[in-house]
Structure 1
Amino acid sequence: MKKLVIIVCVTFGFSGICLGQSDRVDAKDTTQVEYLTLEDCVSQALENNLDIKTADMDADIAAIYHRQAKASQLPSVSANIDHGLNSGRSINPSDNSYISQSFTSANYNLSASLSLWNGFKVRNYIRKTKLDEEAGKWDAQQQKDAITIEVIAAYLEVLNQQELLNNYYKQLLSTEVQYNRLDTLNQSGAASPADLYDLKGQLSSSELAVIDQKNLIKTAKITLFQLMNRPLNMDIVLKEPAAMDQKTADEKSIDGIYRSALSYLPSVKSAELKYKSSIKNVAVEKADYYPSLSLNGGIGTAFSSAATRSVAGAPITEENGNYVISGTDKLPVYSSSTPMSYHDIPYWDQLKNNYGTNVNVTLNIPLFNKLQSKTDVKVAKLQQDLAKVQLNTAQTQLKNTIGRAYFDQQTALESWLKQQDQVAAYKEYFRISEVKFNAGAINSAEYLIAKTKLNQAENSLVAAKYNYIFKTKILSYYEGALSL
């Protein structure tokens, strides 16, 4: 069965049957095969990758802080409700007199405060958080770009290993054909037993190479599925990307690519925004050196169960115990009085009677706060210097990376072209050696040397091909034209 599949793979150019499914040639699975393109893999990685989700959430958090900073321009409003139970000697909140009884009390207050001026602290903080929000978006994009490149590399690695497996199958078939021919000749005594066993050993080596290569394909697929953050499916077949032209990079200089990259590459844009944010942060901290002015106001009312009011009754005239002497008579003295009764003041009446408002302007002048403001400003300036260093480093690293990508792409193309010439030469060398071996003009050792050289050259050609594809895509990323 294996021999039959190998022959079919070779006959039909190893398209579809060996690619992606060569590790299960004996399986009789009739389920529909799922195909994935490079675009599919990148799309799934951008949607599912944990690092990207984390970066997006960090950007969302920065946006929330910016909205909060803008909201700090609004007045702050708070309400206070206080209910209490008093026992023993205490002050009656209704008239501030001392009483010795149990009573309940309540206070209701609504207050508001608006900052009129604070050394432009709020304004600078709003600008800082806006810069942080934009930097967060660029950080998220940088993470997406990094994952995209990793997926491209992993995808191409799977295709690279699959194409190498096809080579190993072809090499195995070629060795098996020669071994079968020598075995037939050996049975009639027309072949050297040494050549037969030499090829038998080579056949075993080719079979082991196929086994090892299948495992490498599985490993490469595991890496790809980890980046996509989806369950592993070894049956998925990857489609090859469109063929790429064998040409070097555009006649654009490294400096030209660098100048363009400064305007759109996330790493540099993020570093620039973080540096600008650090400048604003210094201004935020310096605001604590200046006085602040605020407008405050409030309304309030209160209730006490001990609050009472007096009510006058009907006037009463009665003897008061005194008298006056008139002649020999004692005449009683009368006096009139108005009796008073006390009643609890109703709840709603108290709230209405105790209602009051207040408005005030507060000027706060900082004199000494244990050097806290001075320390904060010094730290902010150091953070600004660090952000400047990080920006310069990002720019320098970008230019060096672009230069490396530029030359890597050129070198990869030269290697691929030279490798094609080498394969063509070794194919002819092997063809001649095979003719001689079949004619008995050379032994198996010389034949296997020629075959090994061709095998190694073909494997190196596959590696050179995918190395060129990857290096070209890396350079296109820095040129702002990354294509899948």
Structure 2
Amino acid sequence: MKNKKIVAVIVLLNIFYSIGFAQNTEQSKFTLNDCILLALENNNDLKSSKLQTRSSSINYKQSINELLPSLNVNYNIGVNDGRSIDPFTNSYSNQELTFSTLGVNLNATVFNGFRVLNSIKQSKFNMKASEMELEEAKQNLVLQVTIGYIQILNSRDLLDLSKSRLTTTEAQLKRLKTHYDEGVGNPVDYTDMQGQYATDKINIVDAQNNLEAAILDFITLLNLESDSEKDFENISGLIASDKYEFSANDVYNEALQNLATFKSKQFRIDAADSGIKVARSSYYPEISFFGQLNTNYSSAAEIFTETGSSIIETGDYVTVANQNYPVLQNQKQFSGSKISYEDQFDNNLNSVVGVSVRVPLFNGFRAKNSVQLQKIEFEESKLELENTKLLFKQSIEQAYNNMESAFNRYHILLEQVIAFEESYRINEVRFNNGVSNIVEYISSKNNMDGAKINLNKAKYEYLLRVKILDYYRGVN
């Protein structure tokens, strides 16, 4: 019974896995939003921008940490052989000895012309600028994906039109072949139609190549595998009955408010302004507290203990009644013992506490030149923002003019297609009934097909211009 349950569970898991796998493999049709999400997740350039933003965030945190005092511990141990200074007695020693030192240093800046505070502000503005640049990269990527997606739809529609042209030509070719085989009609009609058939096949090859190239570029943008088989859904509402509801000036004003490009440039200006204040801090004195705790050890250090005394001759003499008597001296006896590592570190401990004041008097005009350079950077940041505004204003006006042109061209071409379709219908009936010749038929057919191709291009060009204007407005 237990084995049957296990088998049943395994069967169910296999069924669920098969269903899930089938769903994953069948989900090959993507919307524009799906492609945008894939690009935002996979695009390498965007990943690089994210890393730069993380670096700016870390730099900002580090600038805040500069407010904290510095605390360092130094420890070393070594062996010295030959003439050296004994760290215990500070006298010269000519023997091998082991030495060790330990030091703890504390330094806290009290005032430095507000350099740290202004550095924090500068790092914060740079971090916000980096965040806006990341947002700018996302907006640019969304636009690139949208353009690539529209290019695929355009190329795919052109391929469909080319196939439709071939189908129509093939039907006529079959009809004319029957006449040609039966010796009915002008044989030139059949050979001319063969030439037209070959032309239509070449157009399909070119259209297919353009579609594959567009898909390859698009897949590269999304950082997907090149062998990915993807289909793309059409975008609804390609052409509105009314013109674009916003003016070029409206688009530009919204761009100033919404685009991350302008925000990042403004943050760079604020950062450069803070940089001037950081540079000016070099004019002010710097006040700091410091403290030190030091000790040392020497293997030559000894402690002596009195063990007794003895009377010894000093080598001097005194004369009494012409008799020399040696001078004696009572000399104490000592025995030496090594001082332990722990005791020396405890006995030799010393501390230092103080205030340090550094007053800049002359530094080769470095402070002055640094301030001047920061002011130049500030002016360059302002100029870059103004140039960006001017560039965007020109681009928006050009995009708006192109949008209006595409809209008007689309509606004119729509009328042209209707006219050429009617002309082709009449010429097809006349040609099939032998009233008109092959030249008139092919000419009429090419006029209609060319008008449809131009109409399709105008449709997608209008959509592209609208998407570009929406990008400028900050609308994804």
How does the TM-score come out when normalised to structure 2? 0.88
State the alpha-carbon separation in 2 of the partners of residues 357 and 451 from structure 1.
101
- 1:376 aligns to what? 370
Offset from partner CA, 1:152-205 (integer Å, 9 cap, x none): 111111111111111111111111111211221233333111222111111111
Offset from partner CA, 1:247-272 (integer Å, 9 cap, x none): 45554443333223222201111111
- 2:210 aligns to what? 216
- 1:48 aligns to what? 42
Out of 92, 101, 108, the residue aligned to residue 102 of structure 2 is 108
SS at match of 1:359: strand
- 2:274 aligns to what? 280
- Residue 435 (structure 2) pairs with residue 441 (structure 1): yes
Residue 143 (structure 1) shift = 1.3
The structure carrying a bigger helix percent of its residues is 2
User: Any conservation in 1 of the 2:308–2:334 contact (CA below 8 Å)?
Assistant: no
User: In percent, how many aligned pairs have the same letter?
Assistant: 31
Change (3 A) 1:247 1:289: farther
Offset from partner CA, 1:222-275 (integer Å, 9 cap, x none): 110110111113632111122345145554443333223222201111111111
Change (3 A) 1:183 1:325: closer
State the alpha-carbon separation in 2 of the partners of residues 324 and 366 from structure 1.
71
Residue 319 (structure 1) shift = 8.7
State the alpha-carbon separation in 2 of the partners of residues 378 and 134 from structure 1.
25
Change (3 A) 1:318 1:216: closer
- Residue 409 (structure 2) pairs with residue 412 (structure 1): no
Offset from partner CA, 1:279-303 (integer Å, 9 cap, x none): 1111111211221111111111111
User: Any conservation in 1 of the 2:238–2:460 contact (CA below 8 Å)?
Assistant: no
Structure 2: any 5+ residue segments left out of the alignment? 1-24
- Residue 117 (structure 2) pairs with residue 148 (structure 1): no
- 1:184 aligns to what? 178
- 2:70 aligns to what? 76
User: Any conservation in 2 of the 1:221–1:234 contact (CA below 8 Å)?
Assistant: no
User: Any conservation in 1 of the 2:259–2:473 contact (CA below 8 Å)?
Assistant: no
Structure 1: any 5+ residue segments left out of the alignment? 1-30
User: Any conservation in 2 of the 1:264–1:480 contact (CA below 8 Å)?
Assistant: yes
Summarize the alignment of residues 336-347 of structure 1 with structure 2, pairs less than 5 Å apart. 336-347=330-341
Offset from partner CA, 1:33-61 (integer Å, 9 cap, x none): 72222112111111111111111111111
- 1:59 aligns to what? 53
Residue 402 (structure 1) shift = 2.4
- 1:89 aligns to what? 83
Change (3 A) 1:338 1:215: same
SS at match of 1:338: strand
Q: How much is the aligned-residue C-alpha RMSD, in angstroms?
A: 2.5
User: Any conservation in 2 of the 1:249–1:406 contact (CA below 8 Å)?
Assistant: no
Residue 326 (structure 1) shift = 12
- 2:451 aligns to what? 457
Task: Report the residue type matching 1:375 in the other structure.
Answer: N
Summarize the alignment of residues 255-404 of structure 1 with structure 2, pairs less than 5 Å apart. 255-316=249-310, 336-404=330-398
Aligned residues: 451
State the alpha-carbon separation in 1 of the partners of residues 326 and 140 from structure 2.
113
Change (3 A) 1:245 1:199: closer
User: Any conservation in 2 of the 1:172–1:207 contact (CA below 8 Å)?
Assistant: yes
SS at match of 1:85: strand
Task: Report the residue type matching 1:81 in the other structure.
Answer: Y
Out of 10, 31, 47, the residue aligned to residue 37 of structure 1 is 31
Change (3 A) 1:320 1:458: closer
